[in-house]
Amino acid sequence: MNFLDALKRITIIYLVSLIAAVGCMVLVYLLPVVPMLGNIFSDVEILDEEGPYPGFMPEVFERLHSGDYSVRALLLNNRGMCRDNYTDALMLGTAAYDTGDASALESALLNPHGEVVEMWPIGSLKGYFDQGSANLRRENYARYWHGYLVVLKPLLLVTGYSGVKILNLILMGSMLVALLVMIAKRLSWRTAATFGVALFFGFPLQIPFCMQYSSVTYITLVASLVMVSRFDKINASFEKICSFFFLVGILTSFFDLLTFPIWTLGIPMVLFIALSEREKRDVKIKTVIGLSASWGVGYGLFWASKWVLASVFTSENVILDAIRRAEVRSVGDASLTGKKITLFHSIASNLVNYSNIIFLILGLIILVRMIINRKRVRHHINAKAYILTALMPIVWFMVLKSHSFDHSAFTCRGLMVTIMSVVFMFRDIDGVGSE
């Protein structure tokens, strides 16, 4: 691989992405917000009635609360299956906020929304309808790109929050079926079934009904579809596969609000290893590290670019704000609970979301299979690559200890990468991939 050619390719991808991102954000901030408000008016009452974190089948399951470790709470826990109406309301409020005389460029870089003092986003959204934007405190949320607005704003011109959820259900369902069929054709039907079982550890049933979780899910599905359908072309050279993961990292940074972005790296990586296995290729540890680094550079560089652009073209010091927030989210010296967070706290708070009878049974089946085949792992050609991929969520929890602890109700979904890596590794050990 020619290093200069690879650097040139990545630089072009970055610059084109940056121009496209700013251009698209400016364009959607030129759209009128009055029709958007009209379409989401009736949905505000639904959000208010459901509350900030509605659970899955509350008549059967219940949300596990701190200190409640009864048998019923542990076996019927649905904390990881809750939707995030809190952030969905914030997203709707940001999309439909009247920025007044502010320029489209300034609004695209600062991403303001209206806020009622001491009210959660759902209450602020209701206040927006009752009082108008002039009577609400303006709050900027500039440290994220908010790329979801490129899709959400145009959609809200023709439909409301409920319509967006229905569209999510149709699109995500269709994309998932297409992906499973492709995996079945390229690898085997049993491999596709293995992929489907692993998906349950990502609590997929609630995702289409939550905009907060949708962005990273769409990116994961698209990246996986491209990986499976165009594997021979994107894997033609290390330069191309690096560029692919670099672009996926950029897209994740642009669209996601720091939910479970490790999906967009880990799941395509598992498929990459499995497809390489199919062609009798070994995936070396340095390859996994190199591709992960490409994704990380794309993700981090593009995120930091938003801070720089917002600080240069507006009066806000977004760089300083982002650095301060990053310190809080990562070092573990503070959290929403006010206590020091260690890696153990971070991992445990995410694992406890799987204390549900369904996942305990699935986990037990996987564990038994691992024990039976444990001696054969050392002879597996790509065992190290799978194991390294399985550790990605743990590394993520280590880097973002406080964030992973405070928001473990949704960051726990990142552990699906661990489960998928493990089940795919043992699938290959059993020779399923060669069917």
DSSP string, 328-363: HHHH-S--TTSS---HHHHHHHHHGGG-BHHHHHHH
Q: Is the pLDDT of residue 266 over 70?
A: yes
Confidence of residue 379 (pLDDT cuts 50, 70, 90): low
* Least-confidence region, from 157-161, 326-330, 343-347, 422-426: 326-330
| Backbone φ and ψ of 188, nearest 5° | -170, 160
Mean of pLDDT values over 319-325: 87
**Over residues 247-268, mean pLDDT:** 97
Higher-confidence residue: 127 or 110?
110
Q: What is the pLDDT of residues 194-210, one digit of tens each?
A: 899 899 889 898 899 99
- DSSP secondary structure string for all residues of 266-302: HHHHHHHHHHHHHTT----HHHHHHHHHHHHHHHHHH
Q: What is the pLDDT of residue 72?
A: 59
Q: What are phi and psi of 97, to 5 degrees?
A: -75, 135
Spatial neighbors of 390 by CB under 8 A, at least 6 apart, are 417, 418, 421, 422, 425
This prediction has a pTM of 0.91
pLDDT the model gives residue 280: 64
Helices (H) and strands (E) in the chain, counts: 22, 2
pLDDT of residue 75: 65
Domain ranges of the chain: 4-156, 160-434
Distance CA 205, CA 190 (A): 22
Partnered with residue 113 across adjacent β-strands are 139
pLDDT in tens, 217-228: 999 999 999 999
Give kind and range of the element (H or E) at residue 422: helix 416-429
Contact 252, 267 (CB under 8 A): no
- What's the rounded Cα separation, in Å, for the pair 179 and 43? 32
> In 29-75, which residue ranges form alpha helices assigned H by DSSP?
34-50, 71-75
The reported pLDDT for the residue numbered 434 is: 38
pLDDT at 378: 57
Judged on CB neighbours under 10 Å (0-12, 13-18, 19+), 178 is middle
- 282 Cβ neighbours under 8 A, 6+ residues apart: 276, 381, 382, 385
Average pLDDT, the chain: 86
The percent of residues in the chain predicted with pLDDT above 70, rounded, is 85
Say if residue 276's pLDDT is above 50. Answer: yes
Residue 393 and residue 414 in contact, taking contact as beta carbons nearer than 8 Å: yes
What the block records as the tokens of 176 is 């998932």
Q: Which two tokens stand for residue 163?
A: 């319509």
Q: Which residue has the tokens 């493990």?
A: 422
Q: Which residue has 């290893």 as its token pair?
A: 273
Phi/psi of residue 137, nearest 5 degrees: -75, 130
